[in-house]
Amino acid sequence: MNDYMSILIAAGVFAGLGLLAGALLAAASKIFEVKKDEREDHIVAVLPGANCGGCGRSGCAALAADIVAGKAAPSSCTVGGAAVAKQIGEIMGVETEIPMRMRAQVMCSGTSELAKKKYVYAGARDCIAAEKMGGGDKLCANGCIGLGTCVATCKFGAISVIEGVAVVDYKKCEGCGACTYACPKHIIKLIPYDSTHWVGCMSVEKGATVNKQCAVGCIACRKCEKNCPSEAIKVVNSLASIDYTKCTGCGKCVDNCPRKIIWSSSRQNGELVIVRLPEENLQSLS
């Protein structure tokens, strides 16, 4: 009889504890209820959900909260592009300007064969670590270190290191820009997705110095500047750079560059085809 009693007491106490805890939780959920803006959930559902950090926030949920709070524009998601910006605009009930689709481009052509090195680096396999060792192993202060810090950062698996230089796969790149922040050399730039030409060099050294450092550095000869019919390409600080608002994609700069560092893309069945030299350009089109 005593045994039954002790079982009953135990069951009773636990039922009581359970009920008490349940009641407490139910009461707490009412007392501590936080009104959450429903639009926030809708926006999270629309966002790509990669949590890439390209917008400068910790993730998609954080951006949604900021958009609802009015701290961010509905078009802040660089990955979602026009479609997502439009949907968020509808949720928020405002007109949105459509952002331009961008893609990341590594502005360096100095593969391990073409760019000279000043020492043999054998440290941690990370660009930021290598950068601390006298700016990396390449003589050029603005060259790709090629240890893949951007590769590790890219949430879309769009970057790989080929022959010592990081290369972005345009089919996978969503233009979030996370790699542009990650690169210790700051040589990854966002350019309009449709842009056809870019200068594959970021060296601001004088021509003679560049010549000693790398076989494919911009020596600021100004041939591209002189031959550009639309004045889109300018040499500033011993480095050619293209103004994409003016560039018509005629390709005269590619033909005239003696260092072959102006790259061009052309389209094949609507797909971007990235090529290096004019003759390769022809091959890929034929």
Partner 1 sequence: MNFTALSFTDVLLLMLGAVLTENFIFSKFYGCCPFLGVSDKPDKAIGMGMAVTFVMTVSGAVTWAVYYLILLPLKLEYLRTVAFILIIAALVQVIEMFLRKFVPALYNSLGIYLPLITTNCAVLGAALVNIQKGYGFIPSVCYGFAAGRGFTLAITIFAGVRAKLEFADPPRAFKGFPMTLLAAGLLAMIFSGFSGISF
Residues within the interface to partner 1 (CB under 8 A)? 6, 9-10, 13-14, 17-18, 21-22, 24-25, 28-29, 31-34, 124-126, 129
C-beta closer to partner 1: residue 32 or 95 = 32
**Residue 231 zone, left/alpha/beta (φ > 0; ψ -120 to 50; rest):** left
- Give the residue among 72, 97, 81 at the shortest CA–CA distance from 48: 81
Q: How far is the CB of 174 from partner 1 (least distance, A)?
A: 24
Written as one string, the DSSP assignment of 203-238 is: --S-HHHHHHHBTT------HHHHH-TTS-EEEETT
Q: How far is the CB of 215 from partner 1 (least distance, A)?
A: 29
Q: How far is the CB of 48 from partner 1 (least distance, A)?
A: 20
β pairing state of 197-199 and 233-236: unpaired
C-beta closer to partner 1: residue 20 or 236 = 20
| Alpha-helix runs per DSSP H in the chain | 2-31, 38-46, 60-68, 81-92, 127-132, 149-153, 178-182, 207-213, 223-227, 252-256, 278-285
C-beta closer to partner 1: residue 13 or 83 = 13
Q: How far is the CB of 9 from partner 1 (least distance, A)?
A: 6
Q: State whether residue 153 is helix, strand or coil.
A: helix
Q: How far is the CB of 74 from partner 1 (least distance, A)?
A: 23
C-beta closer to partner 1: residue 6 or 286 = 6
C-beta closer to partner 1: residue 29 or 268 = 29
Sign of CA dihedral 227, 233, 234, 238: negative
